[in-house]
Each structure stands twice: as C-alpha cells, then as structure tokens.
Amino acid sequence: MGITRRVFIASGAAAVAVAVNHLGGFGSFAQSNRVLNLYSARHYDTDTAIYESFTQKTGIKVNLVEADADKLIERIKSEGANSPADVLITVDAGRLWRAQKAGLLQPVTSSVLKKAVPANLAEPAGHWYGFTKRARVIVYNKDKVKPADLSTYEDLANPKWKGRVISRTSSHVYNQSLTGSILAAHGPQKTEAWARGLVANFARPPEGNDTAQIRAVASGVADVTFVNQYYVVRLMKSDKPEDKAVASKIGVFFPNQGNGDRGTHINISGAGVVKTSKNRQAAIQFLEHLASPQVQEIFAKGNNEYPILAGVAKDPVLASLGTFKEDKLNAAIYGKNNGEALKIMDRAGWK
Ligand code: FE
C-alpha cells in the first residue's frame, strides 16, 4: 500500500531539508505536493511493489483509492475541479473511453510512452494508454469440440453451433468491446446478423461472469464460450481440486488466426492522467513507470495478462497457452464503438 499523507508529515523534517536544497524557501510547499493520488480499479496485492518502486525512484508518495471503475469515474465527476485524483487506472478501453468522453482525462504526450506503448493500444491524442493486454479467447469442451472445428468469432453464429454456445450478458463491457471490434471489421448490418446468429445458438440465456462460462462449458452445459484469457489461467493455477478439474476439461482457442484475418480481439488494462490533476508531471512519470520493464513484469503477472513491452518475461502458465496473432485495431475505436455495439446486441436479443 502507498504511504499516506499522515506518514509523510511524520517524516516531514527530513523531506523539507531535501526540498530546500532544490527550491529555496518554497521547499516545504513543493514537497507537500509530492503525493500522487491514484484512483485504481485494480486490486492485486502485487501492485504494492509498483507503488513502492515509484516512490523509491521519484520520492513521490502514492496515495491509493481503490474502487470499481464505474464508482471511480462517478467519484471524479462529482469531485469536479477539486478532485484530488491524478491518475485513473482501469480495465477495458470501453471504460477508458467513457472516462475520456465524460471529460475526465487530459491528453499526454511523452517520448517514453510513445516508444513503449504500441500505437494501437493508446488513445491517439494520449488521453489514455494500455499497459497490459488481454485476449478474448474461445474456450471449448475438449470432449465435444476439436480445435479444427473452431475458426473465428464470426463462425460462432454458424448454425452448426446451435444450442452449443454460451456467453455472459451484453451489458458487460468485455462483450461490448468485442462486438465493437466486429463492428469495425464488418460494419453494422453484418455485425447485427452475426449477433442474431450467435443468440440463436445460445444454449441458455446469458448469465454469470467469464469464470461461470468456463465452468459451464467444463460441466457440459455448452460446448463453447468466449472469455478473457486470464480467467482460464487463474483456474489453471488454482490449488482447488474443483478448479483443476475444470481446467483439465477445457481447451483455449485463439480465433481469427487465418491468413489475412485480423487476429484475436485484444483489450487492455490502461491508465490516463486526470484532467484536473494538480500533479501533471508526477502523473506522467507514473505512467512512464508502468511502461518500464521491471514494472511491466509485475503489472502483467498480477492479473495473468500480457505485457505491452516486448522482451518482458511472461507468466509461464500464461505462456503455455501459446502465441497468436493479435487484432491491431486501435483500442480507441472499439472503445468508441461500445455504445453502438450495445444497441446492436439489444436489437439482436442478446440479453
Ligand atoms: Fe476481468
């Protein structure tokens, strides 16, 4: 956990002495600003090491506010110009887009970020950047499906899958982003036809989260589903026998790998600088910290995600899923497409 203001005041004498050297008489004022308020929807214990190494590197303390993404966005909105928030961290480009659209983030350019973050994983004006990747993969029951039966997201609308597919609801941002990527690839008419075909193949009305879909496929409720890969890795790593049994029943398939096809849908965990931040430079430094090799490894492993930086060690269980071609669609496009995607899914009867 980051070091709080209270702890900072207790060690204030030493801090002021250091600051005075740099800033003359205004040192204590400048030093009191050296706290970064981080609003994060992440909740992994391993992230603590990331905040501590930032403080070691920069002398800037991290004050962490944790809540789910929608609550954090509402909180920044309601705090208005007085918001203490400097950085917003959350998952899924759809949510980052919402925060941007609500006017909560400011554009940032940084040569470090430009070099580290692939262009397709950053909002073009710099309102937010992706720091880890997640792939929305097909999960299948190995007793019922062979990998050769699978090909693309589009193919899950084929009548051959009638009564064999399950999904979580359309109200969840993960499915809105996936559908937003299909919208970018095929346009609204084909996307709606796809959604209708998919819904017609559902073995049951959408219910439960990604993990619930995996369990249901393992237990034979359906043959295939699509989920973020870290949910599979979590089950593979679990010590619980019931989770191990689930993991042994299922296979992971990376869709849309064919020659000339666009690749598997990639989403991000990302962050942006809050528009009203009083510590813009420190906030940018923090984003740059997230893009550094040591932090990349910890940040990715915390949630069994893929680092954005090439050459960073991957979690071995994650790596065992194999390599694949990624859809290089800019995350801002499927983020922006979320709203239209949801309307299409609604019309198609995707609950
Ligand atoms: Fe998730």
Q: What is the 3-state secondary structure (H, E, C) of 51-119?
A: HHHHHHHHCCEEEEEECCHHHHHHHHHHHHHHCCCCEEEEECHHHHHHHHHCCCEECCCCHHHHHHCCH
pLDDT at site 22 = 33
pLDDT tens digits along 103-134: 999 999 999 999 999 999 999 999 999 999 99
pLDDT at site 33 = 58
pLDDT at site 284 = 98
pTM greater than 0.75 (yes/no)? yes
pLDDT at site 7 = 26
Q: Token pair of 46, please?
A: 């391993």
Residue 169 has pLDDT above 60, yes or no: yes
Q: Confidence class of residue 54 from pLDDT cuts 50, 70 and 90? A: very high
Q: How many angstroms does the Cα of residue 163 sit away from the middle of ligand 1?
A: 26
pLDDT at site 238 = 97
Average of pLDDT values for 207-226?
98
Q: How many angstroms does the Cα of residue 238 sit away from the middle of ligand 1?
A: 16
Residue 18 has pLDDT above 80, yes or no: no
Q: How many angstroms does the Cα of residue 18 sit away from the middle of ligand 1?
A: 42
Q: Confidence class of residue 44 from pLDDT cuts 50, 70 and 90? A: confident
pLDDT tens digits along 245-274: 999 999 999 999 999 999 999 999 999 999
Higher pLDDT among residues 317 and 33, named by residue? 317
Q: How many angstroms does the Cα of residue 227 sit away from the middle of ligand 1?
A: 9
Q: How many angstroms does the Cα of residue 228 sit away from the middle of ligand 1?
A: 7
* Domains located in the chain, CATH noted: 3-132+268-315 (3.40.190.10), 133-264+325-347 (3.40.190.10)
What stretch of H or E contains 251? strand 250-253
Amino acid at 223: D
CA atoms within 13 Å, Cβ hemisphere of 215: 11
Contact 340, 180 (CB under 8 A): yes
Q: Confidence class of residue 45 from pLDDT cuts 50, 70 and 90? A: confident
Residue 28 has pLDDT above 50, yes or no: no
Q: How many angstroms does the Cα of residue 230 sit away from the middle of ligand 1?
A: 8
Residue 20 has pLDDT above 70, yes or no: no
Q: How many angstroms does the Cα of residue 210 sit away from the middle of ligand 1?
A: 8
Q: How many angstroms does the Cα of residue 209 sit away from the middle of ligand 1?
A: 9
Q: Whole-number mean pLDDT of the chain?
A: 91
Residue 23 has pLDDT above 50, yes or no: no
Q: Confidence class of residue 8 from pLDDT cuts 50, 70 and 90? A: very low
Q: How many angstroms does the Cα of residue 135 sit away from the middle of ligand 1?
A: 11
Amino acid at 117: V
pLDDT at site 294 = 93
pLDDT at site 186 = 98
Q: How many angstroms does the Cα of residue 250 sit away from the middle of ligand 1?
A: 19
Q: How many angstroms does the Cα of residue 219 sit away from the middle of ligand 1?
A: 21
Average of pLDDT values for 217-223?
98
Q: How many angstroms does the Cα of residue 181 sit away from the middle of ligand 1?
A: 18
